[in-house]
Chains A and B, each alone.
Chain A
Amino acid sequence: MKNKLNWTGFLLSAGLILMILLVGIAQTAIAGTANQTAQPADMGEVLFQKKCSVCHGSEGSGGVGIPLNLSDFLKTTSNKYLHQTIRLGRPGRIMPSFNQLSDAQVQSLIHFIRSWKADIKIPQYEQANIAGDKLKGKKVFDTICINCHREAGIGGKGTGVTFSRPRDAEIIAPAIGNPAFLAAASDQMIKKIIMTGREDTPMMPASSMGLSEKDVNNVVSYLRSLSTDINMLHKHEHETGAAILTYESSYSMEETIENMKQAALGHNFRYIREQTLNQGFVDKDQENKDEYLIYFCNFSFLNQALSVDPRIGMFLPFRATILKKDDTVLVMTVNPNYLCSLFNNSELQQGCEFMSEQYEAMLEESTL
């Protein structure tokens, strides 16, 4: 009897939830339709400001991300390309994949981006592939395109540029060999961009670079021959290791602090300051001297890292946390290699590995 009641209860409650969900879905659909027909650009603007403006700028003029409001960009990119780019992102090139957005939300974002230059005709491209000679295309690419787009079109350096730092150009050469770019862009769209170039960017028209239409077809075929498997990039993700680096010290708290200062100086880090972990949270006389922080910085490295991705400053400069628990002294720091995957920026990988090695060496020297 009790089991029967339980089953009845379960079925009734499941039914109730299903009803609530259906009503909710119906309401969302109605609201969504209303929004789309009434003010799609408004919905897109709200989404853009919350999801995209942080990198692309509040008016699409760029920043950490590329400028989206350039006339030539809007003249040559199809809605299908924009849709796919929002969905797929650019693995390893900062732009995340927004695959949690609904189709209606993506459409409203595109509608808003288009509203900046509403008079520009939205291009549409045939999907037919271009049959060129990829080997000849590679030769052209390796002679001309490589200067900005780098080998195999991995994209210009400094993916994380920002207007808070000096920069050579407002736009960094896109990663046109990136699998997500190739999945989003049709052959005809790539050809059109190479043929016409892009005003207000270093990208010149093909004719100005001495290229014929045949050369352009060959370059497109070469690009198309590069990997289009987006999942391949994830397979190459490097080992990130643990969230923190920890060493147990053989010395007293005071000796370990002194050792850490010496080790950091030995690795070209400058001493910045030291404090207890709870400084600023309690009165001076209540600070816990068994939980200690020391800050160091290699300014040259910091400057380089910030020019690759300004967001990395959230865990720089180097901070050693030294804790005394019972009779054990622990020296810890965040692991840059672990944190590197936060940024979807393959340009940072080498720097993160270097930092992790440096941190590990300093921790080891101060504790052993």
Chain B
Amino acid sequence: MKNSIKSITVHFTLLLILLFSAMVQAEHQKLIMGRSIEAFPETMTALQDEIKKAGYTLSFVQRVDVGLTGMGFKTDKYRVVFFGKPEEIEQLPKKYPQLAPYLPLAIAIFAEEQETVLTAMSPEFLAPAYLGEHPELKVVFDRWKKDMETIIEGVCYPQD
């Protein structure tokens, strides 16, 4: 009887894992995007807050619009926000040098009149390029994806 219960538990867990992994695989996403109805400055502040709230460190803000307008081109506010976890920035390039060009993580943020658009590459997009050789990175990619979705949703749909 005891063995039977143990067997049920093991099978149940395995089937649940299979079921959930199938569900996760079914929903592929290349870009993580969101629109904030707030203007650029408020959205930029909210983005930085959400990045910190998710446990990441903001390392740099690339002022793309400043460079463009400085060269005579017309554009509204356009920035790229770089962020990461210090321990991952420290360890991952050593273990996986080929991942370094995609570090730190980045979210582009640009104004569209009175609203603001956020857009980022889903780490899931990199899976075919890296997981064949390093399947253990799936956990990292999945977490980054979830965190980036949480960050962008937190900025764009704060009431949820």
Chain A contacts to B: CB under 8 angstroms = 2, 5-6, 8-10, 12-14, 16-17, 49-50, 53-55, 57-58, 63-64, 100, 162-166, 242-244, 246, 272, 275, 277-282, 288, 291, 295, 297, 299-300, 302-303, 306, 310-311, 313-317, 319, 321, 323, 325, 330, 332-334, 338-339, 341-343
Contact A162 B26 (CB under 8 A): no
Contact B100 A313 (CB under 8 A): no
Given pairs A165-B75, A314-B80, 19 additional interface contacts (CB within 8 A): A5-B4, A6-B7, A17-B12, A17-B19, A54-B34, A54-B35, A63-B112, A162-B110, A164-B113, A244-B102, A277-B104, A280-B60, A299-B67, A302-B64, A303-B75, A311-B108, A313-B64, A323-B93, A323-B97
Known: A63-B112, A278-B89. A332 touches B100 (CB 8 A): yes
Nearest chain B residue, comparing its CB with the CB of A16: B12
Output the least CB separation between A303 and chain B (Å). 4
- Contact residues, B104-145 vs A (CB, 8 A): 104, 106-108, 110-113, 115, 117, 119-121, 125-126, 129-130
Q: Report the bound CA distance from A330 to B93 in whole Å.
A: 12
Known: A16-B12, A54-B34, A243-B126. A164 touches B110 (CB 8 A): yes
Majority-rule SS of B interface residues? mixed
Known: A162-B117, A303-B73. A325 touches B97 (CB 8 A): yes
Contact B89 A281 (CB under 8 A): yes
Contact B33 A54 (CB under 8 A): yes
Interface residues on B, range: 35 or more
Chain B contacts to A: CB under 8 angstroms = 3-4, 6-12, 15-16, 19, 26-27, 30-31, 33-35, 37, 57-60, 62, 64, 67-68, 71, 73-78, 80, 82, 84, 86, 89-90, 93-94, 97-98, 100-104, 106-108, 110-113, 115, 117, 119-121, 125-126, 129-130, 157
Contact B100 A321 (CB under 8 A): yes
